[in-house]
Structure 1
Amino acid sequence: MTEENDAVIIGSGAAGLTAALSAASLGLRVTLLEKAPVFGGTTAVSGGSVWAPNSKYLERGSRPDSREDALTYVRALALGRVDDRLIETFVDTINPTLDFLEKETAIEFSSNPHHPDYQPHLPGAREGGRTLQVGIYDTNLLGERASQLRKGHSSVPITRLEGDAWGMERPERWDWKLLAERVASGLVGMGASLVGTLLDACLKKGVQAVVNARAVELDRDPQGRVVGVYAEVDGERRLFRATKGVILASGGFEWNRELVDNFLGVPCDAPASPPANEGDGLNMAMAVGAALGNMSEAWWGPMIAASGDSYDGAPLYRPTSGLRTLPGGIIVNRKGRRFLDEAMNYNDFGKMLAAFDSHDYEYANLPCWLVFDERFRQSYPIATVTPGTPTPHWMLTAPTLAELAEAAGIDPAGLGAQVEEFNGHAAKGVDPVFHRGESVYDLYRGDPEVTPNRNLRPLESGPYYAVQLHLGALGTKGGPLTDTEGAVLDTHGARIPGLYACGNVASSPFGPGYPGAGATLAAGMVFGYLSGQALAG
């Protein structure tokens, strides 16, 4: 079976939906193919944030932002490994992209004045305001399609700004009556809200959105132009022609063990995205001669694997962004030693987990454990476990630190000495070794009721607990190289006619860096918008 279209978009996260809406807004006949039975991809399980430097959403009276500051900051993070034209394109197009979405959808963006950039000490960084949040979305607006909206790892319909105000790590303080009313009314928040709003707008523009459609092969004409894609739809192989071109927005390859082993080069075994991200778009791009970039990079992070916790039939690995910042816990390696500021941003934390000890010929900080005391256990939720509930088998516990170390395979003497050293400083609210609780990023989280430092306190009496942390990723960020319109380039630097890429399937415009919360979605949406515009040009 063959279907005629002007454009075919592969993937239904924020990048793909923005690309589809961009093309459809200019009158193109657009089909969007989603491999899973639901729309949303990795975006739907995210916080739904968008990193937008120099935006009009900055609060009045706040310190002005600028193009120059944004460029300085992103260039520092990219370490010279990204074509500067891509960095400039992102910075110059993020706000036109937001203007387009504001015009074409019901999305309402709000600046988060307190969320700092991930490296707030670097030149050009800001201590708040660049990360934008979305509101609540009513899934009833999707009608029969509502059941096809991917649910997040948590079904709680909360906004990020509400979570900050109520305390993201203290759910007992949340307005559960309001949240229950939202659930009953079909409302969703964060990433699901962003996806729902974008999908709603695409459908209203006439985009044909198809689930259970796995793209497997690009179709080319005799001159090498990409003119369509073969997809398996409910088990049937179908050709979706695309007279203008195809946009890859199918996510990363973090769930493909072979690709991970061949490209990432580190033991990344805890992907936090939906398991449909198996590198389909990457494989199709390689098959037509695409040049690749940034293939050893991902949006890294330390994850918890709670036994029995699953999502889409695969193990669910949960990020630890807030958990690690809380007072009463430390993170140690097998020698029982701390090796970083536990509250640092998750991407750079992941890089520390990948550190290799060439003398002992092993990863120095894998495995590692979050070690905490009874007060911590009874104060904060840990993955699926809440205070006052039975301790599961995957959470090790023992009456003494020495016994806990033996159970976990940690050096007991090393752990004992580390806790003694840490406690002496933490009692004063300081960490002279790794400076935990000093940066504005650290202080964005933590427990404000703990003084003198919301990120620090000594480990107190037992029993003690240990949970292993795994090197994981929110998604990979390497793939086909693109130009400033999102067109895929071949190994000679020329465009592959009719082929575009955006989001995690493409080489990231940030290279090894991660500017701030929402940078993943922002990059995908910018180049999705540009790709859609280019197809209609």
Structure 2
Amino acid sequence: MLIPRGVIALDETYDVVVVGSGAAGMSTAITAKQHGLSVVILEKAAQWGGSTARSGGGVWIPGNHFLAQSSGESSTEELEDARTYLRHIIGPFAATDRIDAYIDRGPEALKFLADNSALNLEWVRGYSDYFPEAPGGRPGGRSCEPKPFDARRLGSDVDTMAPFYTKAPMNVVVKQSDYRWLSTGLRHWRGPWHMFRIGARTAVAKLRRQHLVGVGSALVASLFVGIKEAGIPVRLGTALRELVVTDGRVTGVITDQGTITARCGVMIACGGFDHNAQMREKYHREPAGAQWSIGATSNTGDGILAAETTGAAVSLMDDAWWAPSIPLPKGPWFALAERSLPRSILVNSRGRRFMNESLPYVEATHQMFGGRFGSGTGPAENLPAWLIFDQTYRNRYTFAGITGRAPLPRSWLNSGAIIKADSIAELARTIGVPADALESTIGRFNEFARTGRDEDFHRGESAYDHYYGDITNKPNPSLGELSQGPFYAARIVPGDLGTKGGINTDANARALRPDGSVIPGLYAAGNASAALMGHTYAGPGATIGPALVFGYLAALDLTAAAAEPAHP
């Protein structure tokens, strides 16, 4: 149940206080409540759902029952392959105990949440793991996404749900499985087919007077059903100011409206420091990065800062869930498919390619920073960066939501986010890169496109590269010549889906001090905690997956704490 902004009674007491209403917070709250604990959720923003509501809604939890129903994978074999995969790609940053907890308990956690909410997922067939050729990787993918959800089930609470960042019209639900084919327009029969499916879904919903939501909105809405049915109070407009510590144990929180005591513990699940310019300057050396984040605007690192005052250690603070983005006038556009489609390349200020443009987005942005983990580690060697493409690309493919052949908005061109020129030399001069270098780079790339083999960066060799490529383009779905003018350059900036750094935690999501000891009564999950994935990213939904699982595991540990004599 939602409680109006600013309404709070002084000196309230609950078993568990959850700070944040995204996937991690709701997972913790639902699990704790269903195990007999009293719970309250505090949300700083005027809307609930956090960054999860603004996401694609993907969930990467190997071996879960939704995945098994569709893919027919053997759960035992799948879990061992996934364990091998995570340890391999995370490398020296792999926390073995946390990986094992995630792999071994993940299916159980998702099943419990599905049984105690309206959560209903389906496999995104073919959406490859981000490193499918690595040991244990899956070219067919492990990601699930929420099915379209009728938000009428929320009643008036839908009015305070955080919107999906593209703010799609009512009932127009574009699933992850649709987006792949929409990006290639009419090039393949699946494009028109998915357009028809979206239209039919919208028409049926209108006839039924439904209020369909999809992707991240569907995920948080379906979880919120569990919150409502369990009677868990959600206090909007209630920001964490301090943590209360008694004899070394976290025993409550202080807000603007008063103090709330937590008999068993406090869960910090209020996101990263996406929109805290001071923290971004300290850790990323780029305070302007806050304007390019599509994380919830209320994510200003409050939970991380409060935990540090209790002695909590933090790590991965120089990194983020980076997303190469186009800084359009109305906000950053996450360039996902745009980088993988043929007849496009990414160049730096020297007019040179510097990576496989189809790389997963975190790794792609690392390359923009010169191959390092984050912008805080040194000069950004390959910034500014530009996505260069030709008119055939524009004619064939959807670009930043604009269908092929449709004119790009004049405001995009006037803002300098998109540059258009009749020749490569003119384009180079306009964006400030050496014309001879850019012409040479495109000439070399065009040779690769003709042979189907990128000898410099191996674009198109991974199954992941092909997911957002054009399968009708031969001989390589990811390579195509840039030859037909006019030519375009889209500025690419290091946007993000949220920051990666946060509170160090153990396998039960308990907050840790620098020496590895546990801070009693303090837990963290989601982007407020240091990412399980280290400096990499396993696949679509590998942020939300750990948020759900470690929220669940924290609640079970809190339940055990409630049974201890010292915490009746």
Q: TM-score by structure 1 length?
A: 0.92
CA distance in 2, matches of 1:434, 1:83: 30
Partner of 1:435: 458
CA distance in 2, matches of 1:517, 1:61: 19
Does residue 458 (structure 1) correspond to residue 458 (structure 2)? The answer is no
Q: Is the Cα contact below 8 Å between 2:324 and 2:492 reproduced in 1?
A: yes
Tell me the secondary structure at the aligned position of residue 526 of structure 1.
Answer: helix
Tell me the secondary structure at the aligned position of residue 471 of structure 1.
Answer: strand
Q: Is the Cα contact below 8 Å between 1:158 and 1:188 reproduced in 2?
A: no
Offset of 1:129 from its aligned partner? 3.7
Q: Is the Cα contact below 8 Å between 2:125 and 2:177 reproduced in 1?
A: no
Partner of 1:363: 380
Offset of 1:385 from its aligned partner? 4.1
Partner of 1:13: 22
CA distance in 2, matches of 1:405, 1:532: 56
Query: Which one of 174, 187, 194 corresponds to residue 219 of structure 2?
Result: 194
Offset of 1:362 from its aligned partner? 4.4
CA distance in 2, matches of 1:169, 1:24: 45
Offset of 1:82 from its aligned partner? 3.4
Does residue 275 (structure 1) correspond to residue 318 (structure 2)? The answer is no
Partner of 1:158: 174
Partner of 1:322: 337
Q: Is the Cα contact below 8 Å between 2:59 and 2:542 reproduced in 1?
A: yes
CA distance in 2, matches of 1:142, 1:124: 40
Query: Which one of 39, 42, 59 corresponds to residue 33 of structure 1?
Result: 42
For structure 2, list consecutive stretches of 5 or more residues without a partner in the other structure. Answer: 1-9, 373-377, 561-568
Q: Is the Cα contact below 8 Å between 2:129 and 2:140 reproduced in 1?
A: yes
Does residue 352 (structure 1) correspond to residue 367 (structure 2)? The answer is yes
Partner of 1:68: 80
CA distance in 2, matches of 1:3, 1:510: 37
CA distance in 2, matches of 1:299, 1:122: 20
Partner of 2:326: 304
Pair 456,356 (structure 1): closer, same or farther in 2 beyond 3 Å: closer
CA distance in 2, matches of 1:39, 1:451: 46
Pair 284,193 (structure 1): closer, same or farther in 2 beyond 3 Å: same
Q: Is the Cα contact below 8 Å between 2:183 and 2:398 reproduced in 1?
A: no
For structure 1, list consecutive stretches of 5 or more residues without a partner in the other structure. Answer: 310-315
Tell me the secondary structure at the aligned position of residue 530 of structure 1.
Answer: helix
Q: How do 1:75-114 and structure 2 match up within 5 A?
A: 75-114=87-126
CA distance in 2, matches of 1:495, 1:110: 37
Q: Is the Cα contact below 8 Å between 2:37 and 2:559 reproduced in 1?
A: yes
Partner of 1:216: 241
Q: Higher helix share goes to which structure? A: 2
Does residue 230 (structure 1) correspond to residue 254 (structure 2)? The answer is yes
Tell me the secondary structure at the aligned position of residue 339 of structure 2.
Answer: helix
Offset of 1:83 from its aligned partner? 2.7
Partner of 2:272: 252
Pair 501,203 (structure 1): closer, same or farther in 2 beyond 3 Å: same
Pair 425,332 (structure 1): closer, same or farther in 2 beyond 3 Å: same
Q: How do 1:425-504 and structure 2 match up within 5 A?
A: 425-504=448-527
Partner of 1:334: 349
CA distance in 2, matches of 1:197, 1:374: 42
Partner of 2:563: none
- 1:92-119 deviations in Å (ceiling 9; x for gaps): 1111111111211222222223111111
Of residues 451-460 and 26-35 in structure 1, the stretch that sits farther from structure 2 once superposed is 451-460
- TM superposition outliers: structure 1 runs of 4+ over 6 Å: none
- 1:478-508 deviations in Å (ceiling 9; x for gaps): 1111111111112332221111000010011
Partner of 1:313: none
Pair 525,442 (structure 1): closer, same or farther in 2 beyond 3 Å: same
Partner of 1:50: 59
CA distance in 1, matches of 2:476, 2:74: 26
CA distance in 2, matches of 1:157, 1:487: 37
CA distance in 2, matches of 1:303, 1:510: 22
CA distance in 2, matches of 1:367, 1:527: 37
CA distance in 2, matches of 1:256, 1:188: 30
CA distance in 2, matches of 1:82, 1:295: 16
- 1:126-153 deviations in Å (ceiling 9; x for gaps): 1124111210111111111010111112
Q: Is the Cα contact below 8 Å between 1:488 and 1:499 reproduced in 2?
A: yes
Query: Which one of 128, 132, 135 corresponds to residue 123 of structure 1?
Result: 135
Pair 53,116 (structure 1): closer, same or farther in 2 beyond 3 Å: same
CA distance in 2, matches of 1:339, 1:84: 33
Q: For residue 174 of structure 2, what is the amino acid of its counterpart?
A: I
Does residue 380 (structure 1) correspond to residue 397 (structure 2)? The answer is yes
CA distance in 2, matches of 1:509, 1:425: 37
Of residues 367-376 and 169-178 in structure 1, the stretch that sits farther from structure 2 once superposed is 169-178
Tell me the secondary structure at the aligned position of residue 525 of structure 1.
Answer: helix
Of residues 441-450 and 259-268 in structure 1, the stretch that sits farther from structure 2 once superposed is 259-268
CA distance in 2, matches of 1:146, 1:506: 28
Pair 193,450 (structure 1): closer, same or farther in 2 beyond 3 Å: same
Partner of 1:243: 263
Pair 168,41 (structure 1): closer, same or farther in 2 beyond 3 Å: farther
Tell me the secondary structure at the aligned position of residue 81 of structure 2.
Answer: helix
Of residues 121-130 and 333-342 in structure 1, the stretch that sits farther from structure 2 once superposed is 121-130
CA distance in 2, matches of 1:401, 1:203: 57
Pair 168,356 (structure 1): closer, same or farther in 2 beyond 3 Å: closer
Q: Is the Cα contact below 8 Å between 1:356 and 1:362 reproduced in 2?
A: no
Tell me the secondary structure at the aligned position of residue 213 of structure 1.
Answer: coil
Offset of 1:62 from its aligned partner? 5.4
Offset of 1:75 from its aligned partner? 1.1
Give me the CA root mean square deviation.
Answer: 2.1
Q: TM-score by structure 2 length?
A: 0.87
| Identical amino acids, percent of aligned pairs | 34
Tell me the secondary structure at the aligned position of residue 345 of structure 2.
Answer: strand
CA distance in 2, matches of 1:405, 1:534: 58
Offset of 1:346 from its aligned partner? 0.6
Q: Is the Cα contact below 8 Å between 1:21 and 1:201 reproduced in 2?
A: yes
- 1:297-319 deviations in Å (ceiling 9; x for gaps): 22122111101x1xxxxxx3221
